[in-house]
Amino acid sequence: MTSPQTDAWPVRALDPADTASLAGWAQVGRTGFMAAAPAPQEADARLRELAERVAGQRLSGVLDGGRWVAAYRSFDTELTLPGSGPVPVDAISSVAVLPTHRRRGLLRRMIGEDLRRAREQGHALAALIAAEAPIYGRFGFGPATRAATLVVDAGACRFREDAPRAQGSLELVEAAGAWPELAAVHDASRRARAGGLQREELWWRERTRPGGERAWGPRTHVVVHRDAAGVADGYAAYEVEERWEGRVSRCAARVLDLHASSPGVHRALWEFVLSVDWVRTVHAAERPVDEVLPLLLHDPRAVQHGPVDDLLWLRVLDVPGALAARRYLGRGTLVLRVLDPGGPAAGSVRLHVDPADDGDDGDDGGDRGGWACAEVTASAGEPDVVLGAAELGALLLGDASAVALAAAGRVHGAPAAVRHLQQLLAVPQAPWCPTWF
Ligand SMILES: CC(C)(COP(=O)(O)OP(=O)(O)OC[C@H]1O[C@@H](n2cnc3c(N)ncnc32)[C@H](O)[C@@H]1OP(=O)(O)O)[C@@H](O)C(=O)NCCC(=O)NCCS
């Protein structure tokens, strides 16, 4: 079973409709991710859910003696880049190798084949969520978004008089029936901010299907905010936990998902969740690192910041394609040399954002809010900045600091050039990806 001849273990594609094979393939993931096997009476339902989830996606893995020992999945989705609309990305997930077969190059082989295929098929970017931070830098991935955990003392929250307000109303809804409204709100939200990922219809069905493996729990409530015309323009899904010490409430709420189309709606949703009777503490994970809530309060320390962790990792497969796909608030010209030994990102490009471009659409008088397109061309010139593919992935959405990476010895160039790169890539809102995949 554990022959060291890894050449005898080619990466094989798996047909997602082949449920017999799928069951063995899924077991690799459960072992890798330390997940419990489903109870026997639930096994068929879980397999059906998985088959539905991965239908049309790319599944692969490695067989040893007829048993799946490595698993890998990728699929096409959309990622919002700064200032521009969503672009296609190769999303990678369900990566696992059995402990009996680890560190023999199986991950390297699976990801190598997938990234080659993605590049050949025209993808400029690949994305994943890293289980452990040291794994994926070697494959050219860098952490491109971070997410904050908040712990809020509900009783200490008093909103400032100047905090924005929205016209409209709030309604508690049944998620199973209301998810299309939530999906529409989320879709607008993820397009409006860099880092946003598409959520397929199935994502919503899985969250809102009672008893499903990925469903929000039975103590979850969903509140929808509607504008004056009754159209949903924000929602919060939150879970409550009842806990008392004697007759004193220690009840907590956990915000699972909160999206708003405007600052006023954002305030209304937070104010609602923070004012639910009995709730003393509100936890929220995967919030943007520049979450506005503390700034709305008389006492911003009512919001304690828990861990801030990386979430979405990006791998640039096509440097000119990726740099030209986003927009820029900075202006000027830099030659970048990307180091990517044996990889598709290696080479030098000239990144030019016209200083005369004021971000106005001209023809139709539209205002692009100062965002300008870049011309990105291959360059034989002396580079201003030299950086690795993983560092470019970390910088692309504007989250990482070129200056900090230079201080760490991971981005090289004259201080003025590094500062210029940071100004070119700067974004007005921290990129945010609240969608696990
Ligand atoms: C992470 C995992 C998929 C790696 O698979 P693998 O087949 O052992 O990896 P490979 O042998 O191809 O390793 C390739 C390189 O990555 C390194 N590497 C792999 N896993 C690593 C880890 N967890 N931490 C640090 N380095 C790691 C290897 O040392 C090797 O380095 P080298 O090229 O410098 O020699 C596997 O250990 C696993 O299933 N872990 C548990 C589940 C998990 O974390 N999955 C990833 C989800 S994002």
pLDDT tens, residue by residue, 133-174: 999 999 999 999 999 999 999 999 999 999 999 999 999 999
Q: Is the pLDDT higher at 7 or at 84?
A: 84
Supply the pLDDT for residue 325.
98
Summarize pLDDT for 269-314 with one digit per residue, the tens. Answer: 999 999 999 999 999 999 999 999 999 999 999 999 999 999 999 9
Q: Which of 100, 104, 107, 312 to mutate to test the pocket of ligand 1 (most atoms within 8 A of CB)?
A: 107
Kindly state the percentage of the chain with pLDDT values over 90: 93
User: Is 99 a pocket residue for ligand 1 (Cβ < 6 Å)?
Assistant: no
Of 6-15, 135-144, 177-186, 191-200, the range with the lowest mean pLDDT is 6-15
Supply the pLDDT for residue 286.
97
Mode of pairing for the β-strands spanning 86-97 and 125-129: parallel
Q: Report which ligand 1 atom has the smallest distance to the Cα of 92.
A: 48
Query: Is the per-residue pLDDT at 15 higher than 60?
Result: yes
Confidence band, pLDDT 50/70/90 cuts, at residue 5: low
Looking at domain 6-123, its CATH superfamily turns out to be Gcn5-related N-acetyltransferase (GNAT) (3.40.630.30)
Supply the pLDDT for residue 360.
77
Domain ranges of the chain: 6-123, 147-310, 318-425
Cα angle 347-83-379, degrees, rounded to a multiple of 5:
20
Exposed/middle/buried for residue 393 (C-beta within 10 Å: 0-12, 13-18, 19+): buried
**For 243-271, what is the mean pLDDT?**
98
Closest CA to 430 of 147, 164, 87: 147
**For 338-357, what is the mean pLDDT?**
96
Confidence band, pLDDT 50/70/90 cuts, at residue 2: very low
Summarize pLDDT for 94-145 with one digit per residue, the tens. Answer: 999 999 999 999 999 999 999 999 999 999 999 999 999 999 999 999 999 9
Distance between CA atoms of 120 and 419, rounded to whole angstroms?
34
Distance between CA atoms of 77 and 87, rounded to whole angstroms?
8
Q: Report which ligand 1 atom has the smallest distance to the Cα of 130.
A: 48
Select from 3.30.1330.10, 3.40.630.30, 3.40.50.150, 3.30.465.10 the CATH code of 147-310: 3.40.630.30
Q: Report which ligand 1 atom has the smallest distance to the Cα of 28.
A: 39
Confidence band, pLDDT 50/70/90 cuts, at residue 357: confident
User: Is 73 a pocket residue for ligand 1 (Cβ < 6 Å)?
Assistant: no
Supply the pLDDT for residue 424.
97
User: Is 165 a pocket residue for ligand 1 (Cβ < 6 Å)?
Assistant: no
Both tokens assigned to 167: 């016209």
Summarize pLDDT for 324-333 with one digit per residue, the tens. Answer: 999 999 999 9
**Same CATH topology for 6-123 and 318-425?**
no
Supply the pLDDT for residue 295.
98
**For 46-62, what is the mean pLDDT?**
96
**For 182-204, what is the mean pLDDT?**
97
Give all strands of the β-sheet with 279-287 in edge-to-edge order. 169-173, 220-226, 232-241, 251-260, 279-287, 146-153, 303-310
Are 268 and 225 within 8 A, CB to CB?
yes
Query: Is the per-residue pLDDT at 8 higher than 80?
Result: no
**For 49-55, what is the mean pLDDT?**
95
Closest CA to 211 of 330, 46, 80: 46
User: Is 433 a pocket residue for ligand 1 (Cβ < 6 Å)?
Assistant: no
Supply the pLDDT for residue 358.
83
Q: Which fold has domain 318-425?
A: Nonspecific Lipid-transfer Protein; Chain A (3.30.1050)
Q: Which of 103, 115, 310 to mutate to test the pocket of ligand 1 (most atoms within 8 A of CB)?
A: 103
Both tokens assigned to 406: 């230079």
Of 165-174, 358-367, 397-406, the range with the lowest mean pLDDT is 358-367
Cα angle 83-343-64, degrees, rounded to a multiple of 5:
115
Summarize pLDDT for 375-401 with one digit per residue, the tens. Answer: 999 999 999 999 999 999 999 999 999
